[in-house]
Amino acid sequence: MNYIEHIGKYYLMLKQIFRKPQKGRIFYEALFKEIEELGIKSLGIISFISFFIGGVIALQTALNLDSPFIPDSLIGFAAKRSIILEFAPTFCSIILAGKVGSYITSSIGTMRVTEQIDALEVMGINSLSHLVLPKVIATVFFYPFLIVLAMALGIFGGWLAGVLSGLFSGVDYIQGLQTTFDPFLITYAIIKTLIFAFLIATVPSYHGYYVKGGSIAVGKASTQSVVWTTILIVVANYFLTQMLLT
């Protein structure tokens, strides 16, 4: 019954989030601040992880395809599919759920326990729209660019790893990248990213907004938000894959 209560409160929260902001100038200032905090400051870790994971994927594929009957171009094809379909949209979103989700929950939760949200409500401000809507828009519009960058760096990392290690040639890798390329795979990855970005913004916001207690409660809420966001991303990934690719 407790889960049903949380689901109901979550959907009621969404209803309040998408009400029209009260002041445009304040809203746009908050939006650009969230783009910097939630998006631009995540460029470093996403770029670093994407580059090296792409190299690992290519090397492991090459080591497992050591048969003379299997062309080396299959390494580039397999790395391309793995990075575009799963690594970039799903794995990077889980990383962002940990980094960004904990930040969102702790920042909103701190405002709740220090009664700053109550002060906003007393002034007649829709606190959910004021605090959460900029985060939702920032993640939904910025994260697709972040994931496309992760795809490019992952594929480049795979190419560079093969060239430096000598396990396969760059020409064969590029040939594999060009083999039976389906543009819908990019569309599929972007659709998943949009859903995951929405979850990353709203689920931690819910845990932070409704936290009760002091600083310890905020810490527990941050942990719970990361766990539940990750679970929802994995579940949504399964259903989106079944609906879009089967």
The closest alpha carbon to 227, from 94, 53, 48, 137, belongs to: 94
* In-domain check, residue 15: no
The whole-number pLDDT of residue 233 equals: 95
222 and 102 in contact (C-beta within 8 Å)?
yes
Q: Hey, which of 3-12, 127-136, 146-155, 166-175 has the most confident mean pLDDT?
A: 146-155
Share of the chain above pLDDT 70, in %: 98
* In-domain check, residue 113: yes
How would you classify residue 222: left for phi > 0, otherwise alpha for psi between -120 and 50, otherwise beta? Answer: alpha
* In-domain check, residue 4: no
* In-domain check, residue 13: no
Residue found under tokens 């209803």: 15
The whole-number pLDDT of residue 55 equals: 92
* In-domain check, residue 108: yes
| Total domains present in the chain | 1
The whole-number pLDDT of residue 217 equals: 87
Instruction: List all residues 6 or more positions away from 59 whose beta carbon is below 8 Å from its beta carbon.
Output: 158, 161, 162, 165, 167
The closest alpha carbon to 136, from 213, 27, 246, 244, belongs to: 27
Instruction: List all residues 6 or more positions away from 210 whose beta carbon is below 8 Å from its beta carbon.
Output: 9, 112
The closest alpha carbon to 198, from 84, 96, 108, belongs to: 96
* In-domain check, residue 6: no
pLDDT reading at 218 higher than 70: yes
The closest alpha carbon to 89, from 192, 205, 8, belongs to: 192
Across 208-223, average pLDDT: 88
Q: What is the pLDDT of residues 12-32, one digit of tens each?
A: 898 888 877 667 788 888 889
For residue 207, give its domain range.
Answer: 23-238
* In-domain check, residue 67: yes
* In-domain check, residue 40: yes
The whole-number pLDDT of residue 195 equals: 95
Overall residue count recorded for the chain in this entry: 246
Residue-by-residue DSSP string for the chain: -HHHHHHHHHHHHHHHHTSPPS-HHHHHHHHHHHIIIIIGGGHHHHHHHHHHHHHHHHHHHHHH---TTS-THHHHHHHHHHIIIIIIIIIHHHHHHHHHHHHHHHHHHHHHHTTHHHHHHHTT--HHHHHTHHHHHHHHHHHHHHHHHHHHHHHHHHHHHHHHHTSS-HHHHHHHHHTT--THHHHHHHHHHHHHHHHHHHHHHHHHHT--SSHHHHHHHHHHHHHHHHHHHHHHHHHHHHHHH-
Across 210-236, average pLDDT: 91
The whole-number pLDDT of residue 106 equals: 92
CA–CA distance, 48 with 219 (Å, rounded to integer): 27
